Structure 1
Amino acid sequence: MKSWPAACVLLLSTVTKWIKDIEARDFTAKDIVHLHPSTTPHPGSFKCFTCQEARDNYECNRWAPDLYCPEETRYCYTFHVMDSWGNSLSVSKRCASLHECLFTGCAPLANKGQQVCSSCCEGNICNLWVPQNESNAIFASSSPLRSSSYRPTTTILTNNVILFMINLWTFTRD
């Protein structure tokens, strides 16, 4: 019986000596990259909340698939349809290209008393919220737009594109 505590002390002293013999160093970012190589599909990849005609923002974000956006996209797009009291009727979110994000804002749905707002943002899952008015129905980009084909649009052009999107949405719903 007395040999058991003696064996534990001997084992503990051996393990302690072995640990001291191991070279100690800090764990670096290089170690992390080596042990956990990137699992992103391409450099600079990101994710957006993604849904099609969800009942509201909660339902959209709750069931959004956890997928990376395609390489040709750079932004997260949100399209929000509301009734005359501002209650959500439909929320659609997806990855988008620069061209798809040039037209953001809000517009009324003709003869329905409804309003639609669209917005775009840049960054990983940046489209958490839905646009509800002109102050948050914007194109939020953290980097300057360097595309040679980019030309600022006028409010008239923006409203025409939004009206086109509204008509397309209405047509597909009927």
Structure 2
Amino acid sequence: MLRWRPWLPPLLPLLSLLTLLVLSDLTSSSPTAAPTETGAGWSPPAPVNHLTCYFCENVENNYICNRFAIDHPCPAGTTFCRTLHIMDTRGGSVVVNKHCATEDQCRDDRVGCLQQDHQKTCVSCCHSSYCNEPVPTNYSNAVRQPKPTAPTRAVKSAGAAAAPRLLLLLAAAASRLLLLLAAAASRQLLSGSRQL
């Protein structure tokens, strides 16, 4: 049997309101977008690029590049992280360049190694965030990494979609519990007033 808690009835409306706010936030599926300049509708949200690459230009070695790389998301239209590595005849780094790149900058004919005079230049491209941490040094690692397969992305998106549903179920259960507590408190309050 529930015991009377004098602090519970004043909190019930506040708890119910908070539950409704959480439910309304969880059920709204689309983000709000600003109206267009003409006011004739809504403009779609800007595309988001979830790729982030190490970024540095004309740095003397890979350690310095990665240590002091600028960390910002790649702009829309770039789908690769690209690394250019120039080495001397002993294999020591001379120049390292890393940045976000387009499909055209990472075509198969623009990736690989090239020996010129006393320097070797290697270029590699990859698709996942921070995948350009190592530098290419030879033909085996100066490659264009293939795109991830569709099932990998489908599994990730299914897991991401399940989280809001779980939160919605938890919020609904919390709301139901609040209603049960309110009903029990009301019954107890009524039975207490009858005894007086």
Structure 1 segments (4+ residues) deviating >3 Å: none
- Give the corresponding residue for 1:136: 141
- Give the corresponding residue for 1:81: 86
Q: Aligned pairs, how many?
A: 124
Check the 8 A contact 2:49/2:75 in 1, yes or no.
Answer: no
> Take 1:72 and 1:86, find their aligned partners in 2: how far apart are those partners?
34
Decide which structure has the larger Cα Rg and report it. Answer: 2
- Give the corresponding residue for 1:107: 114
Question: Is 1:122 the counterpart of 2:131 in the alignment?
Answer: no
Question: Identity percentage over the alignment?
Answer: 35
Structure 2: runs of 5+ lacking an equivalent: 1-6, 20-24, 30-45, 150-196
Check the 8 A contact 1:79/1:92 in 2, yes or no.
Answer: yes
1:59 to 37, 59, 64: 64
* Higher RCO (C-alpha 8 Å, min separation 6): 2
Bigger share in helix: 2
Equivalent position amino acid for 1:72 in 2: G
TM-score (norm 2): 0.52
Check the 8 A contact 1:117/1:131 in 2, yes or no.
Answer: yes
Backbone CA RMSD of aligned residues: 3.4
Q: How far off its partner does 1:141 sit?
A: 2.4
Check the 8 A contact 1:56/1:91 in 2, yes or no.
Answer: yes
TM-score (norm 1): 0.58
Check the 8 A contact 1:45/1:71 in 2, yes or no.
Answer: no
